[in-house]
């Protein structure tokens, strides 16, 4: 690779246990296996020289590229257009299912649409984050890249001669494979990469066609379950597919993003590993998935969350903020000093040291999800309810203490207003659940503490000198997380206290409709440097505007956000001042908050239209 592609110049493919990123020039520059959080096989995204990649692209030809998804699927098509011809590379990963496996396939097919073109195929894996040496073994029917930690099998698609000729056009370069082949109009070729230690073989065209049709049908059948018929259907459905791609099928857990160490500021140090399941993120996804009608996905996630609640409740501990997809919680953070980072953005971190922080708000998100699921008939067992009671009892005695907050500050703990608001949500939803289902709980204590939190937030979380709710008690800093207050029912959108807060956030944190989390200059978070605007916060702003009755402003802001998605409708975590996407990519919170905003705004616009018709 000669340079780093823009973060947004990637498409995502996956098989519901792991995923890969493919650039606009046909390069797989990020792929971990056998799980999302496994060591990388290709990681040129984090070091173009050392990380490893797999490219299929025209050789010695001037071309432009276009990329799109096959409608209703995550099957990616990269088109190469030149004066000599037009070719398409199709990338997909057949869905592996709910059984844990080390065997994963990445299928790459080339079709020459018109003219002719010579292609270069480069496969340069770098196992275990480019820390393990490997050997390349040549077999009669293909190749095997073998390291001490993993193997990767390179399987040609028949007819082999069309892409990889045996007449001197294959070069083995120090454990890497470089091949050349010419395709003429109507020709096809391809490669299937497999993990899991299989023997190489030549794949017949009919088997490849079967994998393609099965993958296409799986995704289209899945998407047909969506009951969303409102405005912005294309963006909503692409976001739903993206969330599904980031869900680990064996457990139902959703990762925050499939990447690690992509910077929140190019050249900066805010480079985190997001390949884990945050209780906060996935709990908020419950509203989005239920709104679209994906109750099976919600049920699977709630089973995973129930186990985490049982673990915490049975030990009378708080929930951890994040876990691995299998529910384990060892997320030791380390720095990969041998990698230069995306465009020189060091350090490159894997693991996540924030995993052991106390963040009180996650209990609110967890009970919020449990309450929503219960309303749709997805109810917890007796044993899980007993553990939930113990967890809520723990919160009753521990909510009034400093914590690290929703933004995972690595500075000193503080009394964050949002943490208190979500603690109120946890107690409020626990009370509603117990009342609706007739299950036992210390209702007197829960009600007393819920009311105490409410009174405290109104007394200390609202800064009367500024006339706004603030990030933390006894401070004057604003926080975009407060935009969620009306959505969770803590304040009504018409409350003057909230209206003044919304106006202050617009003045200080909103820039051309994009929203910053907070001002790190006035609210030190223990890290150097600045960051971009947060897509999640912008979508929260859309919801807040809509609930406040400012539907025209909400719709304009929402549709402006579409201009910041990439060519495939994908969003990273943030938008830089230059308008490019930064941070880990694609980010689940960006896409689930897009769906929630679309659901809320669409319903309110429909209600307004109905009201106009009745007048």
User: Is residue 102 a contact partner of residue 312, using CB atoms and an 8 Å limit?
Assistant: no
User: Is residue 499 a contact partner of residue 491, using CB atoms and an 8 Å limit?
Assistant: no
Q: Would you say residue 256 lies in a domain? A: yes
Q: Would you say residue 17 lies in a domain? A: yes
* Same domain? 302 vs 451: yes
Would you call 219 helix, strand, or coil by DSSP? helix
Q: Would you say residue 171 lies in a domain? A: yes
* Same domain? 217 vs 230: no
H-helix or E-strand spanning residue 242: helix 233-245
Q: What is the CATH number of the domain that holds 583?
A: 1.50.10.10
User: Is residue 76 a contact partner of residue 22, using CB atoms and an 8 Å limit?
Assistant: yes
Q: pLDDT at position 171, please?
A: 81
* Same domain? 245 vs 218: no
Domain final position from 196, 222, 248: 222
Q: pLDDT at position 410, please?
A: 77
Q: Residue 194 — φ and ψ, nearest 5°?
A: -130, 135
Q: Would you say residue 615 lies in a domain? A: no
* Same domain? 205 vs 262: no
Provide the CB-side half-sphere exposure for 148 (13 A, CA): 5
* Same domain? 313 vs 210: no
- How buried is 143 (Cβ within 10 angstroms: 0-12 exposed, 13-18 middle, 19+ buried)? buried
Q: What is the CATH number of the domain that holds 69?
A: 2.70.98.10
DSSP string, 397-424: HHSSS-B-TTTT-SS--B-BHHHHHHHH
Number of domains in the chain: 2
DSSP string, 36-82: TTSPEEE-TTT-TTTS-EEEEEESS---EEEEEEPTTS--EEEEEE-
* Same domain? 241 vs 151: no
* Same domain? 196 vs 76: yes
Q: Would you say residue 229 lies in a domain? A: yes
Per the structure, the complete domain to which residue 188 belongs is given by 7-222
* Same domain? 433 vs 526: yes
Domain final position from 222, 245, 272: 222
* Same domain? 143 vs 244: no
H-helix or E-strand spanning residue 108: strand 105-124
Identify the bridge partners of residue 105 per DSSP, sorted by sequence position: 194
Q: pLDDT at position 71, please?
A: 97
Q: pLDDT at position 197, please?
A: 82
Q: pLDDT at position 555, please?
A: 98
At 48-61, the pLDDT tens digits run 999 999 999 999 99
Q: pLDDT at position 165, please?
A: 55
* Same domain? 427 vs 513: yes
* Same domain? 260 vs 213: no
* Same domain? 53 vs 146: yes
Domain final position from 222, 238, 256: 222
User: Is residue 233 a contact partner of residue 552, using CB atoms and an 8 Å limit?
Assistant: no
Q: Would you say residue 613 lies in a domain? A: no
Q: Which residues of the chain have pLDDT under 50?
A: 168
User: Is residue 147 a contact partner of residue 133, using CB atoms and an 8 Å limit?
Assistant: yes
């Amino acid at each position: 690779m000669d340079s780093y592609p823009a973060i947004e110049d990637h498409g995502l493919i996956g098989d519901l246990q792991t995923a890969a990123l493919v650039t606009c020039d046909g390069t797989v520059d990020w792929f971990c296996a056998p799980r999302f959080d496994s060591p990388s096989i290709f990681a040129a995204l984090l070091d173009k020289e050392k990380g490893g990649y797999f490219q299929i692209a025209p050789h010695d030809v001037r071309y432009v590229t276009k990329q799109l998804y096959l409608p209703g699927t995550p099957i990616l098509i990269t088109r190469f257009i030149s004066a000599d011809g037009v070719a398409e590379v199709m990338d997909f990963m057949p869905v592996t299912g709910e059984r844990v496996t080390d065997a994963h396939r990445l299928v790459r097919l080339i079709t020459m649409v018109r003219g002719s073109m010579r292609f270069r195929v480069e496969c340069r894996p770098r196992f275990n984050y480019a820390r393990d040496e490997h050997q390349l073994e040549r077999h009669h029917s293909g190749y095997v890249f073998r390291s001490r930690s993993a193997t990767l099998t390179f399987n040609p698609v028949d007819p082999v001669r069309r892409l990889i000729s045996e007449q001197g056009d294959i070069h083995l370069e120090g454990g890497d494979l470089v091949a050349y082949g010419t395709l003429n109009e109507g020709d096809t070729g391809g490669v299937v990469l497999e993990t899991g230690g299989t023997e190489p073989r030549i794949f017949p065209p009919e088997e490849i066609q079967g994998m393609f049709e099965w993958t296409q049908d799986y995704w289209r059948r899945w998407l047909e379950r969506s009951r969303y018929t409102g405005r912005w259907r294309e963006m909503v459905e692409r976001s739903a597919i993206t969330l599904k791609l980031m869900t680990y099928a064996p457990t139902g857990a959703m990762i925050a993003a499939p990447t690690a160490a992509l910077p929140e500021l190019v050249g900066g140090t805010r480079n985190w590993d997001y390949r884990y399941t945050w209780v906060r993120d996935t709990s908020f996804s419950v509203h989005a998935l239920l709104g679209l009608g994906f109750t099976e996905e919600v049920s699977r996630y709630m089973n995973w969350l129930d186990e985490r609640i049982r673990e915490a409740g049975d030990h009378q501990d708080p929930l951890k903020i994040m876990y691995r997809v299998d529910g384990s919680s060892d997320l030791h953070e380390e720095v990969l000093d041998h990698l230069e980072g995306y465009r020189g953005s060091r350090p490159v971190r894997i693991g996540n040291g924030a995993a052991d922080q106390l963040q009180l708000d996650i209990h609110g998100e967890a009970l919020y999800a449990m309450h929503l699921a219960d309303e749709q008939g997805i109810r917890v067992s007796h044993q899980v309810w007993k553990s939930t009671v113990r967890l809520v009892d723990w919160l009753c005695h521990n909510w009034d203490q400093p914590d690290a907050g929703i933004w995972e500050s690595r500075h000193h703990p503080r009394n964050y207003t949002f943490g208190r608001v979500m603690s109120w949500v946890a107690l409020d939803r626990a009370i509603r659940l117990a009342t609706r289902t007739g299950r036992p709980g210390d209702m007197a204590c829960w009600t007393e503490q819920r009311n105490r939190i409410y009174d405290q937030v109104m007394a200390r979380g609202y800064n009367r000198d500024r006339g706004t709710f603030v990030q933390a008690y006894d401070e004057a800093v604003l926080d975009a997380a407060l935009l969620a207050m009306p959505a969770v029912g803590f304040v009504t959108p018409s409350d003057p206290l909230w209206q003044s807060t919304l106006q202050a956030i617009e003045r200080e944190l909103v820039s051309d409709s994009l929203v910053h989390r907070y001002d790190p200059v006035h609210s030190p978070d223990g890290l150097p440097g600045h960051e971009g605007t947060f897509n999640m916060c912008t979508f929260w702003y859309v919801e807040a505007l809509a609930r406040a009755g400012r539907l025209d402003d909400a719709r304009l802001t929402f549709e402006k956000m579409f201009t910041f998605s990439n060519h495939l409708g994908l969003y990273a975590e943030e938008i830089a001042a230059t308008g490019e996407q930064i941070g880990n990519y694609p980010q689940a919170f960006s896409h689930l908050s897009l769906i929630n905003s679309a659901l809320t705004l669409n319903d309110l616009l429909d209600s307004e239209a109905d009201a106009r018709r009745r007048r």
